[in-house]
Amino acid sequence: MNRAMRQAILVSFSAFALAGCETVKYVPTSEPFCKAVQTVCISKDDSLSEGTAQQLEANNLGRARVCKKRVACAKEGTPS
**pLDDT per residue as tens, the chain (80 positions):** 677 777 777 767 666 665 555 566 777 888 898 888 888 888 888 899 999 999 999 999 999 999 988 777 876 545 54
Q: What is the pTM of this model?
A: 0.54
- On whether the CB atoms of residues 20 and 12 are closer than 8 A, the answer is no
Domain ranges for the chain, please list them.
3-67
Question: How many other CB atoms sit within 10 Å of the CB of residue 71?
Answer: 15
For residue 79, list its beta bridge partners.
73
Give the span between the Cα atoms of 38 and 15, in whole angstroms: 45
Give the span between the Cα atoms of 48 and 69, in whole angstroms: 25
